[in-house]
Structure formats: C-alpha cells, structure tokens
Amino acid sequence: MIIREAKGSSGKAQIIIPQDPDDLFTLRRIIDIEDTLIADTTRVIKQVKEYSRPDKGERIRVRILIKVQTVSFDGSVGRLRVGGVIINTDNELVPKGQHHSVAISVGDMVTLDKNRLWKESELEIVNKSVENSTFILVAIDTQEAAVALVTGTHLKILPNIYSGQSGKRYSGSKRLNPNIETFFGEVVAAVQTILTSNITNQNVIMFGPGETKRRFHNFFSNQMENSGSNKVRTKIIEGIDVAGEDGIHVSLRSDSLREVMKDTKLGIVSTVLDQVFYLVSKGEPKFAIGMKEVNQASKLKAIQYLLYSDTVFQYATEEEIVLLLNTTEALGAKAYGMDSSTDLGLRISSLGGIVALLRFAIR
C-alpha cells in the first residue's frame, strides 16, 4: 500500500493506493460510515431536450466526493465497493445529493478524509500494509520477453513483446537479423512504464534461457545510468530457462526467485503455503482448512498465519470473514489475501478459499 498525507488536510485526510487484495481488506477495516472519500469513477449523463425523451446517456469519467454510507467487497477480495451521497464533483453535469457507489480495485487512488485527526490505531493498520519494495520480472530470450510487476501479493503481467527474430521454423523469413537493441529498447520502455517514484526499493529481476538475459542486463544498466536513475536494483537469476509469460509463471515457483523475494508478502505466502502442503502430506495436524476449521483454530488462539482468496466468499458472509480476520490479527496472527492473478491464489482456492498454519495441533 502507498499512503501519504493529503496536502493542507492537517492530518485529517490520507491519499491511499492499494497494491494488492490485502490492502483492499485494510481499506475495508478503516473506512467508516460518515467518512468522506474522493475517487475517480464513471457516471451516465443523460441529455434532456425540450419536447423529447432523454437520450440513453453518455458514460463519462468524473472525480467525486461522497459521504460514505456503505462499504463492502464486490463479490471478491479484488474489488471494494463504497456507496454514499455525492457532496461535490469536478463536472457540473453530475448533480450533487444523489447516491453513487465507487468500485476500488488494486492500483486505484483514493483520498480518505476522516473529518478528524486519524487515530493511532488506524494509522498503525495502514502503515502495517506499507511495503516499500516492488519487483519487476523480465523473462527474456532473443525472440520474446514478458515484463511483470509484483507488488505485495498481486501480479500484473504486461503483454508479450516480440523481437521479430526468426527461429528455425522461420528460416525463410526476411527478418533474420533484426536489431536486437531495438527489441531491448522496447523491453526497457515497458519496464519504465511501471517504475514509480513512490517506491524507494525497486528491483528488476532478469532471467531466461541462454545469454540474452546478460546482454539485456548490460543494455538496461546503461539506459538507467544515462537517464540518471540510481534507485533501481538489478539482478540476474539462473535456472529459469523459459521466456515470455510462461517464464513469469515458472519463475514464481522457482527456488531461486523465492530466495530473492523471501521477505516480501508474496514470498511469505509461498513459504507458508508450501509448509501447509508439506504438513498435509505428512499427516501432521498443524494446519486448518476451510471456514469451520479456521474458525475453531482462531477461537483457540492457535493461528500463526492465515491465507485467504476470493473464493472464501462462497462459503461465508463478508461480515463473518471480516470478523474472523480482525479477531485473528488481534491475537497476533498475520493474515494475507490473494487473488487469482497468481498460482498461489488458485492453490488457496483449491483448499476452500481459506487456510491457516497453526502454532500447535488442535486435533
């Protein structure tokens, strides 16, 4: 989560950008009824002409200020819906006083105004979600490359970039030897689109078959040096011999990348989930699977780590889930939310959407 105090708010308003589903759950915990929220949204504007029916309307993008009346997840942990009354707007065609709901997803920026100084407990909740590091993965060979951004527990993969260089299957092509630096330049441009000045620790991890990753590393380093950017750390990792989008997914299951990312949210979730599957295979009951078992473990103060995905909403109400997670964290456990953008989220979904690693066996 990225958070900073809004200028001129005297500690009453914070600008917040959630970076993963876990951050959306944090927002769900701190947004209260009667708070005010500034967010970008869309709204249908209908033109009413004299002596005629209003047209179907045009959907426009607008920034609104609403007084919060409802807060809930929109069917998954990947989107939060906040409803309320429009107090102000940057478009005069949008009337004030009407009800509107805003959908907040990963990467959206909102300004939350408490209309009072924030409590220490509220700041502690949001600051606990701040992660000042991101990982940009580059899976590259001479023919294709994929760039992906890992923030918290969320994965965003950009479309594949192709060099146009022919393999053996295209030996008759006229484009046998395109300029590899043009290809590298396109990949660097893709990386630069997701670099941000808000993050102090940005890491670019490069991998793939052959020596292309090393050539790209040298090219990328020169480009960053020429642009005067010294905030980006680069690293080459071995053992992942797949490029493109497939290489990104393979890398997330590799021991070499896991070692690099072991202290991040995604690294912690991966380690915990592997421990759970190991315990399941050994028949050691230091785990809980599903809402019923996890609830029981929480009541016994036995949970060390709690992992959940959006499919958990199929088995319990939102209020039950929020109460469980709040209670579990209050007892010293750590909770992490995942979505289906990663293989980890799918693995958690296969276990009923929620799983816990326990401090001690309860059965």
Nearest-angstrom CA–CA distance, 348 and 270: 10
pLDDT of residue 178: 56
Instruction: Please list the residues that pair with 61 across neighbouring strands.
Output: 42
pLDDT of residue 43: 74
Q: Which residues of 102-125 are buried (b: 16+ CB within 10 A; e: fewer)?
A: bebebebebbbbbeeebeeebeeb
CA dihedral 293, 295, 296, 299 (to 10 degrees): 160
Q: What residue segments make up the domains of the chain, in order of their start?
A: 2-128, 133-260, 266-358
User: Which CATH code is given to the segment(s) 266-358?
Assistant: 3.30.1330.30
pLDDT of residue 169: 40
pLDDT of residue 29: 83
pLDDT of residue 50: 55
- Please give the CATH topology (third level) of the domain spanning 133-260: Nucleotidyltransferase; domain 5 (3.30.420)
Note whether 289 and 350 are within 8 A (CB): no
Provide the 10 A C-beta neighbour count for residue 359.
16
Nearest-angstrom CA–CA distance, 327 and 243: 43
Q: What angle do CA 129, 134, 135 make, to 5 degrees?
A: 140
Q: Is the pTM of this model over 0.85?
A: no
Shortest CA distance to 187 belongs to which of 241, 238, 223? 223
Note whether 29 and 322 are within 8 A (CB): yes
Note whether 59 and 67 are within 8 A (CB): no
User: What are the structure tokens assigned to 229, written together?
Assistant: 């950017």
Strands of 58-73's sheet in order across: 2-5, 13-17, 110-113, 36-45, 58-73, 79-89, 99-105
Instruction: Tell me how far apart the terminal alpha carbons of the chain are, to the nearest angstrom.
Output: 37
Shortest CA distance to 358 belongs to which of 266, 271, 312, 289? 289
Using the structure block, give the residue that is written with the tokens 């100084």: 117
pLDDT of residue 230: 58
Provide the 10 A C-beta neighbour count for residue 168.
5
Characterize the bridge pairing of strands 2-5 and 13-17: antiparallel
Burial of 206 (0-12, 13-18, 19+ CB in 10 A): buried
Q: What angle do CA 103, 18, 250 make, to 5 degrees?
A: 105
Nearest-angstrom CA–CA distance, 4 and 230: 23
User: What are the structure tokens assigned to 132, written together?
Assistant: 């000042």
Shortest CA distance to 313 belongs to which of 78, 149, 103, 90? 78
Note whether 80 and 103 are within 8 A (CB): yes
Note whether 149 and 155 are within 8 A (CB): yes
Tell me the pLDDT of the chain (363 aa) as tens digits.
Answer: 888 899 888 889 999 998 877 788 889 888 999 999 999 888 776 665 555 455 566 777 889 999 999 998 876 667 899 999 999 988 877 788 889 899 998 889 999 999 999 988 788 778 877 766 789 999 999 999 999 998 877 788 999 999 887 654 444 444 444 578 899 999 999 999 888 765 667 899 999 999 999 999 999 999 888 765 657 889 999 999 999 999 999 998 888 998 898 888 888 898 999 999 999 999 999 999 999 999 999 999 999 999 998 788 888 888 888 889 888 888 889 888 887 667 888 889 888 899 999 999 987
pLDDT of residue 216: 95
Nearest-angstrom CA–CA distance, 196 and 231: 10
Sequence-distant (6+) residues with CB within 8 A of 105 are 18, 24, 78, 79, 80
- The count of residues in the chain is 363
User: Which CATH code is given to the segment(s) 2-128?
Assistant: 2.30.30.870
User: What are the structure tokens assigned to 108, written together?
Assistant: 């959206």
Nearest-angstrom CA–CA distance, 211 and 198: 33
